[in-house]
Amino acid sequence: MNLPRSSYYYQPKEKKPDDFSLRKRIEELAEEFNRYGYRRITAQLHREGVSVNHKKVLRLMRERDLLCKPRHRWVRTTDSDHRYRIYPNLIPRTPVTAPNQVWVADITYIRLPTAFVYLAVVLDLFSRKAIGYGLSRQIDSHLSLQALHRALQSRNPPPGVTHHSDRGVQYAADDYIHTLVRTGFQISMARKGNPYDNAVAESFIKTLKNEEIYLWEYRTLDDVENRVPYFIEQVYNQKRLHSALNYRPPEEFEKMFLTPNPCLTTLT
């Protein structure tokens, strides 16, 4: 055909967006995901087919004052001074390679003008997905059981799943432990005063506080019940990119695992 070899092997270069369009999209993402840093913004742009370097995203975000700023201090809510049995930490010797192998649980508070609302949550350690949660004005085992029952209904797990939590009375109380034993869980608890033993649950709470709770002025329990479930189910599980999941949302990460895909790298 009288074509030079270079023409045959020619590959068109990716079309890069102009700065105006790129800046506009970055601002839209920063508005939707208020606590995204430049790495997650870059990852989301790549998912949308935009070819851009993370250094440029950082520069544009810095110019527009869109970079995340430190928020409130963490407040501990764990009461481990009780008469109930304490279980050993099983996490270091429990490999996690699939859903429904390890569940982690924790409780946090949400401040109202004249009171507190408490949130209990259960996460699947493999995908970081929030699979059960409960809201209450009381911080007791009824709250933690509310989250556990929702997780059981949504997952119907096989016997042998490891349930990991802190040593708080809400997780050590008889009614909570009896539910775990009856449904075939192995029980694991963090060491006293060591937040790293339940780091994934702590990370979820930090994300919830920074990206939802601190951005809204809740007035009543109804306000909390309207906003927090939406964030957990529609934003955190469905949309928010997680660096530990190769910048994928938990729901997508689980679906990729359940659908044969040789490119998926599982967590260990």
Q: Which residue in 131, 98, 244, 80 sits closest to 120, CA to CA?
A: 131
Residues 130 and 225 both lie in one domain: yes
107: part of which helix (H) or strand (E)?
A: strand 102-111
Residue 1 lies in a domain: no
The DSSP letter of residue 243 is G
Residues 23 and 142 both lie in one domain: no
Residues 137 and 233 both lie in one domain: yes
Residues 189 and 249 both lie in one domain: yes
* Single-letter amino acid, residue 61: M
Residues 35 and 102 both lie in one domain: no
- pLDDT tens digits along 230-266: 999 999 999 999 989 999 999 999 999 988 655 545 4
Residues 136 and 224 both lie in one domain: yes
Average pLDDT over residues 140-162: 95
Residues 137 and 237 both lie in one domain: yes
Buried b (16+ CB within 10 A) or exposed e, 200-210: bbbebbebbbb
Are the C-beta atoms of residues 248 and 242 closer than 8 Å to each other? yes
Residue 201 lies in a domain: yes
Which residues constitute the domain of residue 228?
91-258
Residues 119 and 29 both lie in one domain: no
Residue 82 lies in a domain: no
Residue 76 CB burial class (10 angstroms; 0-12, 13-18, ≥19): exposed
Q: How many domains does the chain have?
A: 2
Q: For the ranges 113-117, 164-168, 190-194, which has the lowest average pLDDT?
A: 190-194
Highest mean pLDDT among 7-11, 29-33, 176-180, 264-268: 176-180
